[in-house]
Amino acid sequence: MTALSRRAFLLGSMTLTPTFTTLRSAASTLRVVCLDYGLAQTLIEIGVPPVGLIDTPSWSDWAVEPPLPLGIANMGSAHEINMELLQLLKPDLILSTPYLEWVRPQLELIAPVKSFPIHALGTSPYPNIVAATLELGRLLGRSVEAEALVERTENELEAAKGQAQQLGKLAVMTFIDPRNIRFYGPGGNFQDVLDRLGLENAWTRPANEWGFSDAGMADLFEVGENWLFYMDPVPADVLTALPGSPLWQSMPFVQKGRARRMESVLMFGTLPSMTRLARLLVKATT
């Protein structure tokens, strides 16, 4: 019932059907500009890398996987997309997020716009990500590749499950500065991965609709003796402050040797981010 209504919703939002039908037949030469890192991950995985992407220089810091192919134009920041450059690139399709709805009229002057609601819908993002992946595959004539990506992700997560079990309960967070931290919880991409791997989140406070909550260093006590992963990038002053901090040193998980630094994973990512997190967690057990 819910699956049906979601499908109906996606179909209903396809107001530009005629254009897309013609797009599909010419998929091999399709020029897509992507205004979201998460969707770009999926595009690269299904073999239709975008011709333009926002903030390309930061990709290697935040998304990391999959590696960004060469020759993708930098569209500027998501706050203010370079419209002239967008016009000059002559894209066939622009992929956007609900947070850029307010410039949709302008974007539509250049090319058809498709926006994918994934986060903050009151559900966990995983089914939305899968739906978006399949929808992208269908739109771009890459349904086979999209289905393969979904299946590959399921298999990888399933395979990681066994080995990750020994972590038991764990929390994932990032340091904002030496005194403030951000935890990832229900409603976010990372929680989905934990659920898939049969792991329990040691951070039990409610998260906001995007799946994270801000806290102070003292709140780390709630993690107890469970594993704690703090994600890159870690501010320089945090790294120097931790060893000398009596509060940090007296945390049960630090005393048990269960605090680990972890490479960056895109928190608003799609399937490639989820497998990346699973892989990094498994790596931590060895």
Residues that bind other proteins (CB under 8 A): 58, 61-62, 73-85, 87-89, 98-99, 101-103, 105-106, 109, 119-120, 176-180, 182, 205-206, 208, 210, 212-218, 221, 233, 235-237, 239-241, 244-248, 250, 252, 255
Closer of 213 and 275 to other proteins (Cβ): 213
* Alpha carbon distance 148, 168 (integer Å): 30
Closer of 63 and 271 to other proteins (Cβ): 63
Q: Could you identify the residue written with the tokens 């850029």?
A: 100
Task: Report the nearest approach of other proteins to the CB of residue 246 (Å).
Answer: 5
Does residue 195 contact residue 163 with C-beta atoms inside 8 Å? no
Task: Report the nearest approach of other proteins to the CB of residue 277 (Å).
Answer: 18
Task: Report the nearest approach of other proteins to the CB of residue 179 (Å).
Answer: 4
Closer of 109 and 144 to other proteins (Cβ): 109
Helix spans in 90-165 (H): 104-108, 125-139, 143-164
Closer of 35 and 46 to other proteins (Cβ): 35
Task: Report the nearest approach of other proteins to the CB of residue 252 (Å).
Answer: 7
* Alpha carbon distance 57, 131 (integer Å): 28
Task: Report the nearest approach of other proteins to the CB of residue 66 (Å).
Answer: 19
* Alpha carbon distance 18, 20 (integer Å): 5
Closer of 163 and 245 to other proteins (Cβ): 245
* Alpha carbon distance 65, 38 (integer Å): 10
Q: Is 65 exposed, middle or buried, given 0-12, 13-18 or 19+ CB atoms closer than 10 A? A: buried
